[in-house]
Chain A
Amino acid sequence: MVTTLGYTSASSAQASILSATRLMADTSNPYGGTNIDPLPATATIFTVTNGKKSINYSKNDLLKIKSSVITIFEPFVQKRQSFTVIPLDYFLGKSSIPSSVRIDTVALNDYIFSEKSANFSKAKAYIAIARFGKDIPYNQGGPLRLVYAGTSSWSKNLSAWNWSLRSIKVSKTA
């Protein structure tokens, strides 16, 4: 497993108590990085490759896929946040990636989190395409990121919460 960051995990006790009071959008980043030149909604922002064939997804494409809204405890900002999500299984199925292979989830800055495809399914991984109904800013881990519900076995595995997702591909070592 390739790790991104080794931060301490969130306190579940704190999460449960503050769940009601902390349900709010976190729209700030004091370190800047807010201005990004816009991209046409038809431009590719996400690619899934099964080793032979790639499927590109634009923002418009992603918006057409059936999604749901889940409210989860975000372990980095330690707040409850609502995300519009598509199950990762959808993309794996669409690209016919078998559950036995290992896949790389690659971020825009080339960070990689790798695991067996079946383990992503088991952990009920989602790709978040919006937060509180709005695009997720790049300086807050957007526009696409991997998230996990509180019931997931990876809800506290911070390495698995890969930010600014660019692509998914079958690992070379698969």
Chain B
Amino acid sequence: MAALAALAIFSGDISRGASKDVTLFSSAELTSTSLIVVQRESLAYTTRYTQWLGGDIDRREVQIARALLAQRLNVITSSKLTIGNQLSQQYFENLALSDDLLASTQPGILSKKQSEAIKPESKEFIDAMLLETRELVAAYQNALQDVLEDSAADRQFKADRLIFVLYLFFALSLMLFGSFIYTLGRQFRRNSSANSQQLLLIGEAIDQLAESRKIVNQLELLDERKNTFISTVNHELRTPLTSIVGYIDILKEKLEGADNEELNKIIHILERNSDNLLNLVEDILSLTNLESTSSGLLKTDVNLKEITENALLSLTPLSEAAHVSVELKTQAGIETEILANRNQFTEVLTNLVGNAIKFSKPGGAVRILIEEGSSNQFSKMLRISISDDGVGIPASEIDDVFSSFFRASNVRNSEIIGTGLGLAIVSRIIEEHHGSINVESTLNVGTKFIVEVPVFDPEIDEFIQERKSGVLNRAIVALETSTLSELENITHEMRGVLGFYDLQEQGAAIAEFETWLKSSDRAQDSEILIRKNNLLSVLRENLTELHELKEK
């Protein structure tokens, strides 16, 4: 049995490895297809432009080539492929320059006079586009090489592990061979019908395995449907809830100082319940976003100590109200930079420390320790543990602690409110960060959460920074060139792209503008333009800052 188990692990490993390789190469193939398509359309456009400049074709044909290039870029983005980050800021500036040059001329065949007038700038555009298309090929080669290198490293790791498994398998086989012969002889003597029964059982097991695969497929489909459904429902719930909370605030403001105890009490209940509901919707939305495969926020260097201190600062009112002390200690002489998404990791700390405070008794203490974590030849981890001396979690429920809507039975009927989604969110975020989370708890003694996350690697950071400015520039160009009627769709698309590249502040600014647009049906065009220009100023400033940061 042990030998069979080892063999199963071995074959499963190979199968998983092969499947991963297929995914890797498929990803590289898609990227290369995108690059080739963009390169082709860019060249087609540049060629048409050159023909038009020479008086061979009319302006309309160049405009069509330009439109088809835009269409391909848009389809690639819509298909969630990442051509945008392969194209430099200069590429989009060149397109904008060519748009301006085209717009400055008359329809039809270009006159010699006009051709001469725009020739210097046109030459600049043509040269730059040819250079860009060459660089696209280099980008494709780099992308492919990255995939191959990753795959090679992965294979090396698997090969090492495989040798270990084979040694183990061999040793186990030797040990078991003797006992197998002995057992076989005895078994054969005992009951030959038992063997046929076992064969029957094996057959059934194989059938069940096939059935399980079917069920897994169905579950995956259902999970996907569930995520989509929840996203839609949450969106419909969150918008009205946000405005309800807003109205309650206004009501509170109006009633301030008024001597109406009953009304104040009702407002207080309304406020508490709508806040709870909003928190629940926000939590479900966070969880759904994390569970969907496309959530992937890129991470950068974040100082764990610094964000822990910030989280503690924001939790001070809670700890003071609960009369719980919070202490943070850091192991001397260690680097506390981790590879993380700042906002998501702040949410992790706020959740874990917030829980520790909530479930502590008055006069209790929460202890946080940052120290070196486990490490191997591939990664080095930093560990943060959060301990409390609170109510603890019953041992029988500890395995469910990271499940959605989990509330320990000893707090379910208490006054401590919660959605039961916090730890599920925390666990998913940690998973997204390629880290781990463990919990140790003793009822009525306390709980300790231990989180490990990879430390920051400057090479990965460089990779992200290289692409950020290009993406932000694309957002600016898109906003600049959009008509008022196109704005809503563009801001929606841009928000997602910026989020993906960890440009969260910029994404938030665009989201705010988008929300305002949606809620301002009767807004004057001039008002929209003013707000759009304000947004553009902010984004341009951010872009300059990014460039300066890169130069430094």
Contact = CB atoms under 8 A, between A and B. Distances in A.
Given A32-B481, A36-B64, A37-B107, A17 B71 contact: no
Contacts of A138: 63-64, 67-68, 71
Interface in B480-501: 481-483, 485-486, 489-490, 493-494
B79 interface: yes
B78 interface: yes
Contact of A17 (B95, B229, B483): B229
A29 B70 contact: yes
Contact of A140 (B59, B71, B485): B71
B490 to A, nearest CB: 5
B489 A27 contact: yes
B30 A6 contact: yes
Contacts of B232: 17-18, 21
Contacts of B358: none
A120 interface: no
A28 B69 contact: no
Given A28-B489, A163-B71, A17 B225 contact: yes
A77 B74 CA distance: 9
Contact of B103 (A17, A35, A139, A140): A35
Interface in A2-48: 5-8, 11, 13-14, 17-18, 21, 26-37, 39
Given A13-B228, A17-B225, A31-B73, A108 B68 contact: yes
A139 B74 CA distance: 9
Contacts of B225: 13-14, 17
B41 interface: yes
Given A6-B30, A7-B30, A33 B68 contact: yes
A150 to B, nearest CB: 17
Contacts of A141: 71, 75
A30 B71 contact: no
Contacts of A108: 64, 68
Nearest to A163: B71
A34 B478 CA distance: 12
Contacts of B221: 13
B68 A109 contact: yes
B272 to A, nearest CB: 31
A11, A28, A141 — most chain B CB neighbours (10 Å): A28
A76 interface: yes
Interface in A105-129: 108-109
A36 B68 CA distance: 11
A33 B69 contact: yes
A139 B33 contact: no
A17 B67 CA distance: 32
A87 interface: no
Contact-residue bracket for chain B:
35 or more
A17 B95 CA distance: 38
A109 B107 contact: no
Given A13-B224, A76-B78, A108-B64, A35 B71 contact: no
B65 interface: yes
B74 A6 contact: no
Contacts, number: 123
Contacts of A163: 68, 71
B490 A30 contact: yes
Given A6-B29, A17-B232, A36 B71 contact: no
Interface in B304-358: none
A29 B30 contact: no
A37 B68 contact: no
Interface string B70-90: 110111011101000000000
A31 B68 contact: no
B20 to A, nearest CB: 17
A36 B486 contact: no
A7 B79 contact: yes
A7 B102 CA distance: 32
Given A7-B81, A27-B485, A28-B490, A35 B63 contact: yes
Interface string B21-63: 0000000011001000100010010000000000000111001
Nearest to A75: B79
A163 B224 CA distance: 30
A76 B108 CA distance: 33
A47 to B, nearest CB: 16
26 contacts: A5-B37, A5-B75, A7-B30, A7-B33, A13-B221, A14-B224, A17-B232, A18-B228, A29-B70, A29-B71, A30-B74, A30-B474, A30-B481, A30-B482, A30-B493, A31-B70, A31-B74, A31-B478, A32-B66, A35-B103, A37-B59, A37-B60, A76-B79, A109-B65, A140-B71, A140-B74
Given A18-B228, A76-B78, 8 more contacts: A6-B30, A7-B79, A13-B224, A14-B224, A28-B489, A33-B66, A35-B102, A109-B41
Closest 5 CB pairs of A and B: A33-B70, A30-B478, A138-B67, A33-B67, A28-B489
